[in-house]
Amino acid sequence: MPIKEFLEKISDTVWEIPVSYKEGMRVPARIYGTEKIISELDEAVYDQVTNVATLPGITKYAMCMPDGHFGYGFPIGGVAAMDVEKGGVISPGGIGFDINCGMRLMVTNLTYHEVKPYIKKLVDRLYERVPAGVGSSGFVKLSRNDFRQVVEQGAQWCVNNGYGWEEDLELIEENGCIKGADSAKISDKAIDRGFNQIGTLGSGNHYLEIQVARKLDIFDPELAKTMGITMPDQVVVMFHCGSRGFGHQVATDYLQRFLKVMDSKYGIKILDRELACAPFDSPEGQAYFSAMKCGINMSYANRQVILHRIREVFSEIFERSAEDLGMHMVYDVAHNTAKLENHVVDGKKRSLLVHRKGATRAFAPGMADIPERYKNIGQPVIIGGSMETGSYLLVGVPTGDQTFFSTAHGSGRTMSRTKARKAWKGETLLKDMQKKGIYVRSTSMSGLAEEAGAAYKDIDDVIEAAELAGISKKVVRLTPIGNIKG
């Protein structure tokens, strides 16, 4: 029977697939989105999210956020919380290969009027200072042993070594260093793939963007002010990148390891090899958890060094210090993680391992682990759109408990990279964007074509769905004026 005949409309933005849909489902699957988003959703997403619903220990629902699309194992936009006291598993397919691929946002006290004459110079110099593209290497030269320290200490290592300010650490999830990372749990091959990549963007949908907060796009001036956006046409800088080849190798190593022990040692049978998993409390599960944390910390360090380089470039071009330019962080959010969190389920507090694969944590006001300055407003949420459209700054809300305080992470693709390359030419996109006032540098014209705005869902539709569903609240829409693509 077609999946849509099983789909039950819970509300205007919540749709549920019951456990009767597929043998082995332990919980229902829920997909978040407006009717428009649901009508355009790839059929494969339904198959993936219902496969996730069969995993041991899954609690409440298998979920897919409004930007959801087909991924490896979990759909991208997938969220699943595993009860670690009831046989819950950990699955690399629920975290992703680019561990802690995430977003960082920084404000300046510059206006569009002040920056416009320098936009080409800024983008060109940032393109030189922040290496992008496949296989790019960073300017921070580390030995393999130094790199082991970085993946255990995260952004703290960077600040200790002069790449950033102490105040930056407060504004990163986990203060830029998740506890329990153990470099003894990662392979030499993973070290080899990552030790020279600190401070690099990578490729695909990773980018560095100079943006403007237009007056009409500041939806809640008080919330925006608390997060550092205090005036119309204020210029900000946003970037999106992760753990590069290092995270990919960590995931690959443990997927192979889990496939060997999952059935033979633990009797776990799955519907899709891409959902390879192990009990969280098993030796294999704990080893991966520690290794995955190394990927999280590598990514925090990567973004910290990039932040340092951006401050250097702005300071050089405007001949003022980064402090004088007001180049303070708003926040750094992670995607592609699994974290132990306490959540209330059916009236009881439970310790859950929350997998967020292409999804953003969105804690509500008053929750632990939010920086003190944001305690009263909720955790900042940074959602990147396509290079042609815009991005958003949101906050978490109390009703986000329905998704274990998770929300969307981006626009979400509607077209494969292969199809996008056939549909558009990078050179044409480059010219079209310049006509729109967006100056772009890219390492590859075919890579640029893959990131065409029309290959993604409409970011405004995704944000509307997230707000209507009560899983986050929009604060500011940010318009691109300069972009560097990997």
Q: What domains are there in the chain, each with its CATH number?
A: 3-96+343-350 (no CATH), 102-342+351-485 (3.90.1860.10)
pLDDT of residue 462: 97
What are the tokens at 28?
Answer: 């229902």
CB 295 within 8 A of CB 247: yes
Angle 328-329-332 from CA coordinates, rounded to 5°: 170
Catalytic residue, chosen from 206, 240, 355, 409, is 409
Give the separation between CA 322 and CA 334, rounded to whole angstroms: 25
pLDDT of residue 259: 97
> Active site includes 335?
no
pLDDT of residue 451: 87
Give the separation between CA 481 and CA 486, rounded to whole angstroms: 17
Give the separation between CA 475 and CA 465, rounded to whole angstroms: 14
What are the tokens at 40?
Answer: 């355009």
pLDDT of residue 443: 86
pLDDT of residue 88: 98
Question: CB atoms < 10 A from the CB of 427, how many?
Answer: 11
- CA dist list (Å): 349 to 77, 341, 345, 399, 407: 25, 10, 6, 16, 21
pLDDT of residue 1: 54
What is the secondary structure of 51-86 as a DSSP string?
HHTTSTTB-S-EEEEEEEE--SSSPEEEEEEEETTT
Task: Please list the pLDDT of the chain residue by residue as tens digits (486 residues).
Answer: 567 778 999 999 999 999 999 999 999 999 999 999 999 999 999 999 999 999 999 999 999 999 999 999 999 999 999 999 999 999 999 999 999 999 999 999 999 999 999 999 999 999 999 988 777 788 899 999 999 999 999 999 999 999 999 999 999 999 999 999 999 999 999 999 999 999 999 888 899 999 999 999 999 999 999 999 999 999 999 999 999 999 999 999 999 999 999 999 999 999 999 999 999 999 999 999 999 999 999 999 999 999 999 999 999 999 999 999 999 999 999 999 999 999 999 999 999 999 999 999 999 999 999 999 999 999 999 999 988 889 999 999 999 999 999 999 999 888 888 888 989 898 999 898 899 999 999 988 888 888 888 888 999 999 999 999 999 999 999 999 999 987
Judged by DSSP in three states, 127 sits in helix
Question: CB atoms < 10 A from the CB of 265, how many?
Answer: 14
Give the separation between CA 86 and CA 340, rounded to whole angstroms: 14
pLDDT of residue 486: 77
Give the separation between CA 46 and CA 147, rounded to whole angstroms: 40
Segments in 161-264 forming alpha helices (H):
166-170, 188-194, 221-226, 244-261
